[in-house]
């Protein structure tokens, strides 16, 4: 995903990258697209109250991470 690449190389900060990724995945789901297991886990983690902590972690590390 381009967002992940931009976050890794510093073109996009971690919090903004996480927000954009969540927004895109949520839109795809609403359009009926099948998401991968990793994408579903990402959305679940983001929406279960870990939103602020996850974004803060990403902002400090400059990376979008998956916790499986």
Q: Does 45 map to a domain?
A: yes
How far is residue 63's CA from residue 9's CA, in Å, rounded to a whole number? 9
Closest to 42 (Cα-Cα) out of 17, 59, 15, 67: 67
Give residue 15's pLDDT: 87
Domain range for 33 is 13-58
| Token pair 């967002």: residue | 3
| Tally of structural domains, the chain | 1
How far is residue 2's CA from residue 63's CA, in Å, rounded to a whole number? 13
Residues ≥6 apart with Cβ < 8 Å to 40 = none
Q: What is the pLDDT along the chain (68 residues), one digit of tens a residue?
A: 788 888 889 888 888 888 899 999 999 999 999 999 999 998 888 776 555 555 455 545 555 554 43
Q: Does 1 map to a domain?
A: no
Q: Does 3 map to a domain?
A: no
């Amino acid at each position: 995903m381009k967002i992940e690449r931009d976050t890794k190389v510093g073109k996009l900060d971690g919090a903004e990258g996480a927000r954009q990724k969540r927004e895109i995945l949520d839109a795809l789901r609403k359009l009926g697209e099948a998401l991968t297991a990793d994408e579903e886990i990402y959305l679940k983690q983001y929406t279960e109250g870990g939103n602020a902590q996850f974004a803060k972690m990403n902002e400090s590390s400059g990376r979008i991470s998956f916790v499986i």
